[in-house]
Structures are given as structure tokens and as C-alpha cells.
Structure 1
Amino acid sequence: MSALTSYRVTWEQKGIDKSHTETCIVDSDDMTRPGDPEQRNGLLRKMLAIRYLPTGYAVPDNVVLQDVVPVCNCEPYPGQDCAFAYHGGERFYLTASSQPGYEVIRDHHREKVLGNVCHTLSVEFLTLVREKYGHQ
């Protein structure tokens, strides 16, 4: 199943100190390694080069990514508020667990527990959950 993810990308052309911010969409069908940020960034650089660089410079190596931020997919129209704006735009968050050495990953949408995670891995796991599921 194809998944489209929007990103707000700040970039500049190599050798030119002027940054631009654009919204780009990545289709999971274009990725052989879904969830791989390196492959995602390569697709974004290619897209930006083709769309914005002059002929002769339109190659991914001429695009320097400064910042790549997923755009909340619960924003049906540009400028409309995110359903999770009250929570800092985050659907998933960590809370303390009743088990020592663990933290709980919760979902603001249904206030349900996604799972207990060892505290040494909780932030990394939360980041993966946020990247994979966003605000779907």
C-alpha cells in the first residue's frame, strides 16, 4: 500500500548561500527501504534539483539539505491547524511506567498505551513510531 508523506524541506544550492523552504511529497512506493532517512533525503534532493535548479545544475549532488521536517498529515489544507497543536504537534508521547526501568508510549488520539519500552530505548523507539505513523 502506497503512503504519501509531506516534508517541509529547507535547502540551498551547493556553493550559493541562500536557503529556500519548500514542501515536498515522498511516495513510499518510490523507496526500496521505507523509513530509511538516507534514501528519503536522496529522493528529496533529486526532486528539488529537477524542480528548482537551472539546466546543467539539476543533479541531486547540487542540493544541500539543511532541515527536513515531516508535515502533519492531519492538516488537510495549508494553514489549517493540526489536530495535535495543543500537544506541540505530537501525537505520541512518553510517560512514566509502573514498571521500574520502563517508560510507556501513549497516543494522544485515543489516550491508549502503545507499549512499555525499556527507558534506554524509549526515545529511539518513540522517534521510530512518530516517523512511521505520524498523525495518521
Structure 2
Amino acid sequence: MSATATELLTSYRVTWEQKGIEKSHTEVCIVDDNDMTRPGDKEQLHGLLRRMLAIRHLPIGYSVPENVVLQDVIPLCNCEPYPGENCAWAEHKGERFYMTTSQTFPQCEVIHDRHRNKIVGIVSIGFSVKFLTMVREELGHQ
């Protein structure tokens, strides 16, 4: 299974528990970016994940998103749920995020996200490597 040009899938390792029951579970959830009407909105993403987990893992009568408490949501490499496939970023040495020199702002570098073809930030040269490292750690793909 692979994503087409119009279908981008993002995988998350989600640690959660059922409300009122202190037992954690960890699952891999795949979200179709087309389901996100507000890309980048963590609340919408968390709502989709809670709904997915409630339907799949909670008993009948409890399977509503409000009964799922998210503890940790970590984005994963797009290829992780499909071990037989090539990494989506293999041609880029496995790097989803990359840095270029800014043509508009002197002494700045631009951090890009290949997954959404967007600019993540424009940063002073002195902080660009630290910022790129933080983005890679925060947003997941190693």
C-alpha cells in the first residue's frame, strides 16, 4: 500500500488510556491528511486519533472519543507501518526536513518540510542547525 499524489498518510505512535482506567496502551495510527480540514491543527488531529482509538479498542457502550485520554502522540516515518516498502524519503537520505539558504533574507536559512511542501521556518544562520534538529525531533521523521 502506498500513498498516491493526492493521498498523504501520516503515521503516529499514540500512547493512550481509557478514561477512568489507569492502564496505558500504545498503538500505531495512520491518518489520511485529506481528513484534516485544518492541517497542522493538533486539536483536530487529536480528535481524529481519539475517535479512531475509541472505535477500535473500547468496549461497546464506551466507544466514544471522550473516553480516550491521549498521553503521547509521536509522528513516525511514513514507511514505518509498511515494513516491506521503501522509505518515503529514501532518495533524500531519509530526511523529511531540510535546510536551504534564504534568497530573500540575508544571513538566514529556510527549513522546509518535504511531506507538505511547506516552509517550517526562516531562521538566523546562527540558530538554523539547532532549529532544524528541534524540528526533526519534534515532528518525528528521523
TM range (shorter): 0.5 to 0.7
Does residue 40 of structure 2 align to residue 39 of structure 1?
Answer: no
Q: How does 1:1-136 map to 2 (within 5 A)?
A: 1-75=6-80, 76-77=82-83, 91-92=96-97, 99-100=106-107, 102-105=108-111, 117-119=122-124, 123=131, 127=135, 131=139
Q: Provide the rounded CA distance (Å) in 1 between the counterparts of 2:67 and 2:52.
A: 12
Q: Which amino acid aligns with 2:111?
A: I
Cα-to-partner distance string for 1:13-63 (whole Å, 9 max, x where unaligned): 011110000011111222211221110110000000010001111000000
Q: Provide the rounded CA distance (Å) in 1 between the counterparts of 2:120 and 2:68.
A: 39
Cα 1:3/1:52, change in 2 over 3 Å: same
Counting matched residue pairs gives 119
Cα 1:91/1:28, change in 2 over 3 Å: closer
Q: TM-score scaled to structure 1, two decimals?
A: 0.64
Cα 1:94/1:22, change in 2 over 3 Å: same
Q: TM-score scaled to structure 2, two decimals?
A: 0.62
- 5+ residue gaps in structure 1? 108-113
- State the Cα RMSD in Å: 4.0
SS in 2 for 1:49: helix
